[in-house]
């Protein structure tokens, strides 16, 4: 009886697991299926590199080119990544190496709260506090790439700090006792051992954060101005995610517009899979610390 029960239990687990895996493949398949009809009407090249996006016929010709959106997505997320990287590496170092344990745990959970704050609230705060600064600085309406990426960088902070401080702490536990026994200062150990050793994990954290930044919708949409222009630091732009969020509601089902939005989503999805694949590659080159449990 117990044996049957055991088999049944493992069977159930396996079933649910395969369901989960199947789900992802299905999401991909579905987006791709809805995206493909776009290319019956226009070429892949003109879709990816066209600069005109004119979904509705307003006298002119219809056009679906997402080049500016791709560029804006890249610009906003890279800018945000640079700001976030500077802050998070420093903060993670401070948390993992220079603070006492109780203080570290406390501050970690404080920063962790940031991760839970909904993106629409970030957008709200951005509109209330960040755009007025830009208006004062002379940017018309205050919405611009820089404003969006500043707010986005704060959103990336908690994830990066959490993963970086974890790997810094492990390295410190491994190397510092030996260095300390030779009388070498902590900050020298950090510079000479911990930071170089952590290069791989820093890279992984950065790429993961890049993925998050590219997919972020609401906060960026509220701050970036949403105009189909090539991104400039103080100019307006529109990212792929905000394009979908803004136009999906009005796109007529089955129209080229509808399919083109799916195609844009698929492009975004491909970027993110590329990112995950790269991370997998980097991880496989790092020393492996896989844990297993046997039952």
Partner 1 sequence: MSRKKRERGHIRGIRSSFTAEDGKRGLSPLRREYFFGLLLRLFSALSLGASVFSVLFLILYILGRGSSVISPGFLTRAPAGLVLGEEGGIAPAITGSLLFSGTAVLLAGIPAIAAALYLVFFCRSRWMRASIRLVIQCISGIPSIVLGLFAYSFLVRSLGLGRCVLSGGAALSIMILPFIEMRAEKAFLELPQELLDASTAMGCSPAWTVKKMVLPYCLGELISALLLGGCFAMGATAPILFTGAVAFSAHPKSLLEPAMALPLHLYLLIAQGAGSLRTAYGTAFVMIAVLLLCRLAAAAYARYRERRWRG
Partner 2 sequence: MEELERKGEDSGEESTAAMELRELSLSYGRKTVLDRISFSVPKHKITAILGASGCGKTTLLKCLNGMIRNLREARLSGEILLNGESASALRTEELCRRVGLVFQTPTPFPMSIRKNMCYGLRYYGKRDRSELMRITEEKLRMAGLWEEVKGELDHSALKLSGGQQQRLCIARALTVEPEVLLLDEPCSSLDIVSMGQIEEMLKRCRERYSIILVTHNISQAKRIADEVVFLHQGRLLERGERESFFAGAKREETRAFLQGI
**Interface contacts to partner 2, rule CB under 8 A:** 1-3, 294-295
- Which residues within the stretch 94-123 sit at the binding site for partner 1 (CB under 8 A)? 94-95, 97-98, 107, 109-111, 113-114, 116-121, 123
- Give 189: exposed, middle or buried? Use CB within 10 Å, 0-12, 13-18, 19+: buried
Contacts of 250 (CB under 8 A, 6+ apart): none
Contacts of 240 (CB under 8 A, 6+ apart): 66, 69, 70, 72, 73, 214, 264, 265, 267, 268
Neighbours of 52 (CB within 10 A): 14
Provide the minimum distance between the beta carbon of 4 and partner 2 in the complex, in angstroms, as a whole number: 13
Which range, of 63-71, 173-181, 197-205, 238-246, touches partner 1 by CB under 8 A?
Answer: 238-246
Provide the minimum distance between the beta carbon of 45 and partner 1 in the complex, in angstroms, as a whole number: 23
Nearer to partner 1 (CB atom), residue 63 or residue 114? 114
Provide the minimum distance between the beta carbon of 59 and partner 1 in the complex, in angstroms, as a whole number: 28
Bridge partner list, 225: 237
| Residue bearing tokens 């299926």 | 33
Write the CA distances from 20 to 9, 23, 271, integer angstroms: 17, 5, 22
Nearer to partner 2 (CB atom), residue 2 or residue 285? 2
Cα dihedral value 121, 124, 130, 135, nearest 10? 170
Which range, of 45-53, 63-71, 140-148, 272-280, touches partner 1 by CB under 8 A?
Answer: 272-280
Q: Is 285 in the site for partner 1 (CB under 8 A)?
A: no
Nearer to partner 1 (CB atom), residue 80 or residue 154? 154
Nearer to partner 1 (CB atom), residue 63 or residue 269? 269
Q: Is 38 in the site for partner 1 (CB under 8 A)?
A: no
Write the CA distances from 134 to 39, 71, 141, integer angstroms: 40, 22, 8
Q: Is 43 in the site for partner 1 (CB under 8 A)?
A: no
Among 43, 49, 185, 227, binds partner 1 (CB under 8 A): 185
Provide the minimum distance between the beta carbon of 121 and partner 2 in the complex, in angstroms, as a whole number: 38
């Amino acid at each position: 009886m117990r044996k049957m029960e055991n088999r049944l239990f493992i069977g159930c687990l396996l079933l649910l697991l395969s369901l989960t895996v199947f789900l992802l493949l299905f999401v991909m398949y579905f987006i791709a299926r809805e995206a493909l009809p776009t290319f019956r009407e226009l070429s892949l090249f003109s879709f990816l590199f066209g600069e005109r996006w004119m979904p509705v016929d307003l006298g002119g010709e219809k056009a679906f080119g997402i080049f500016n959106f791709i560029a804006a997505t890249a610009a906003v997320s890279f800018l945000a990544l640079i700001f976030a990287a500077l802050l998070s590496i420093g903060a993670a170092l401070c948390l993992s190496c220079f603070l006492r344990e109780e203080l570290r745990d406390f501050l970690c959970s404080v920063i962790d709260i940031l991760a839970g704050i909904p993106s629409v609230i970030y957008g709200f705060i951005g509109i209330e506090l960040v755009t007025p600064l830009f208006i004062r600085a002379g940017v018309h309406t205050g919405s611009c790439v820089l404003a969006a990426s500043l707010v986005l960088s704060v959103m990336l902070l908690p994830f990066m700090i959490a993963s970086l401080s974890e790997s810094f702490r492990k390295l410190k536990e491994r190397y510092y006792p030996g260095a300390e026994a030779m009388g070498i200062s902590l900050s020298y150990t950090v510079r000479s051992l911990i930071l170089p050793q952590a290069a791989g994990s820093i890279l992984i954290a950065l790429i993961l954060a890049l993925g998050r930044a590219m997919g972020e919708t609401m906060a960026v949409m509220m701050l970036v101005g949403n105009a189909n222009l090539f991104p400039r630091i103080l100019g307006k732009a529109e990212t792929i995610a905000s394009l979908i969020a803004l136009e999906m509601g009005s796109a007529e089902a089955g129209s080229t517009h509808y399919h083109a939005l799916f195609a844009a989503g698929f492009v975004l999805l491909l970027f993110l899979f590329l990112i995950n694949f790269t991370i997998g590659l980097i991880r496989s080159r790092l020393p492996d610390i896989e844990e297993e449990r046997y039952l």
